[in-house]
Amino acid sequence: MRRTGRTADSRMLDLLGRLHSDLFFQEKLLLNGVDLKIKLTRSKDGFCLMSGNANQNYKVHIISASLFVKQVKVTAGVRLGDAEVPMTPNAKYPVERVGRKVFSIPAGSRVSNQENLFLEQLLKKLVIGFIDKDTFSGSYVKNPFNFTHYNINFVALYVDGEQVPAKPLQPDFENGSCVREYMQLGQATGKYVKDWSTCGTLKTVPQVLLFFLRIQTNTAATLKHVKDCLLLIDRGEFGQSYTLFAFDLTPDQECADHYSLIKTGYLRAEVRFATALPSTVNVIVYGVFDNVLKVNHRRNVLFDCM
């Protein structure tokens, strides 16, 4: 594989990317004088490396690391204005907060009901993926992002007892029937790629990246529900190794920049399988919430997270 050659024979590799943290996915500048601490925790070597031999003890050594931060110098008039109005209203930062939950479904199961997916606040978006239990913990011989369909034939959420969607998702992966689930994945996350023709409708097709990538919006929309953002999963990959079920729980079901009122409620998920599970499966639930982070004149940080 092309990626294998990049690290063959202990070759050094340089990488660059943004930090996947809630605060860093909003566009407003952080006020000066706010204390910000960042803590990074490494994954296991078996999680971030793959090999055909499970007995090989490969390691990742970080030689050096740098954090690049953008700083902006404001005019003297702006600084003076801030000093003269110490009791100005709080600076508000709309944040898409991410929550994650993992639960297991034992081998031999054909039905799974998970109560109270997230307590108190209701989500705006939710993505569900299924993966082998041993793969989730990290294995050199297995891909930790191989989300298998496990012959799922029913998926639905229940918000305060009301089924979402009204007609549940009922794919038939054995016969390759999963276009509705694939299209909902793109619509719920606001993504599209080059070839919608495989879905039999338009010229562009929606897609989503892995659950750990952020769900972002863009005001320059090319289609209703679909924002101008390209991702890399096609319909064939969706049914084979990137089977992710996405739900948009916003009132208008629009991938827009506005925020909806925060609501509380009860959320349950039901999943059924056409055949009994051959092994224990971990279910990863990735939820996105609308919240607001505030900074007052004393540079204290307030968060409305329940």
Residue with tokens 């070759």: 11
Q: What is the pLDDT confidence band of residue 114, given thresholds at 50, 70 and 90?
A: very high
Distance CA 104, CA 50 (A): 24
DSSP 94: E
Nearest to 157 by CA among 278, 81, 248, 261: 248
Q: What is the pLDDT confidence band of residue 262, given thresholds at 50, 70 and 90?
A: confident
Residue 54's Cβ-count burial label (10 Å; 0-12, 13-18, 19+) is exposed
Residue 52 confidence (pLDDT)? 77
Residues in the chain: 306
Terminal Cα-to-Cα distance of the chain (whole angstroms): 46
Between 82 and 298, the more confident residue is: 298
Distance CA 73, CA 231 (A): 35
Residue 192 confidence (pLDDT)? 58
pLDDT per residue over 32-60, tens digit each? 888 989 998 888 888 888 887 777 788 88
Q: What is the pLDDT confidence band of residue 189, given thresholds at 50, 70 and 90?
A: confident
Q: How many Cβ atoms are within 10 Å of 96's Cβ, its own excluded?
A: 18
Q: What is the pLDDT confidence band of residue 306, given thresholds at 50, 70 and 90?
A: low
Q: What is the pLDDT confidence band of residue 88, given thresholds at 50, 70 and 90?
A: low
Q: What is the mean pLDDT of residues 143-156?
A: 92
Distance CA 155, CA 113 (A): 10
Residue 172 has pLDDT above 70, yes or no: yes
Residue 111 confidence (pLDDT)? 95
Residue 236 φ then ψ, to 5° = -65, -40
Residue 5 confidence (pLDDT)? 78
